[in-house]
Structures are given as C-alpha cells and as structure tokens.
Amino acid sequence: MVTDSLIRKKFVRDTLQQGISKIYATQESVVRSNYQLRSGRLLTSLSKHSSDSSISGESYTIFVRILPYLRFLDMAYRQRNDRIAKSRRRNLALYNRVVWGVLYHETFPQLCYGFTDEVRKGIRNQLESSLNP
C-alpha cells in the first residue's frame, strides 16, 4: 500500500541524494582540473560517492563521508587579496561554496516548493508499478 508518508519520504530521499551527487560531481571535477594528484586518496574518496541514510519516524538523516583535509583545501590561497589570488580561489572552491551553494540554492528550495501534485502522482505511479509488476 502506497501512503502519502511513503511518497513524501521517497521525494525527500531522492532530492537529497540528487543534491549530494551534484556536490560530489562538482568537487571531483575541481580536484581533477586544479589539483596535482599525489596519493589519489582525495579523488578516490570523491568518486565513491559514499553516503549513508537512515529514516526514523519523520526524521531523515544522511551521513556523508569526506576526507577531513578537503574542508581546508580551498583556504590555501587566502594570504593575498589581489586580482590573481581571487580568481585562483574562485577555481579552487571545494567545500563551503559548493556544499552550501548546492544545499541552499538548489536542494532546500526543491524540498520546500518542489513537492507538487504532479510530483506526488509520478512518485505514486512509480511505487505502485514497482510493487505490482
């Protein structure tokens, strides 16, 4: 039986997974184009797209695994304030700009305003067709 709560949970899970995969893809492309690879751990970690999700009641939790030094790689060129340093920093945005940009400007508005009747009907049809082949 397909309920409204199941449809809502699937919409939230799909929307968050879509945002997380976009974050990983953006970070992976920045690492490939702007950083010299030494051990390859950073690129391997980003290409795994590893995340765990759990649903309990009405709460939904996602755990995303990242290397700790990824958060600090985009801070490496903060010493200078000239034009060259600013343009270089723009290309090296790995963590804060990417994560918060995708979450606040794409994922959260989609969660707030994207759950329309058409989406609800589409998810219901998808779930019913998977339950009744």
And the tokens for 101? Answer: 């940009």
Q: What is the pLDDT of residue 79?
A: 63
Tell me the per-residue pLDDT of 68-112, one tens digit each, with 9 for 90 and over: 777 777 665 556 677 777 777 777 778 888 888 999 999 999 988
Non-local CB neighbours of 61 within 8 Å, separated by 6+ positions: 53, 54, 55
Provide the 10 A C-beta neighbour count for residue 91.
Answer: 11
The one-character DSSP state at 85 is H
> Are the beta carbons of 16 and 60 closer than 8 angstroms?
yes
Answer with the residue of higher pLDDT: 15 or 52.
Answer: 15
And the tokens for 26? Answer: 């953006």
Helix, strand and coil in the chain, % to nearest 5: 65, 10, 25
Beta bridge partners of 53: 62
Q: pTM of the full predicted structure?
A: 0.80
Tell me the per-residue pLDDT of 112-122, one tens digit each, with 9 for 90 and over: 888 888 888 88
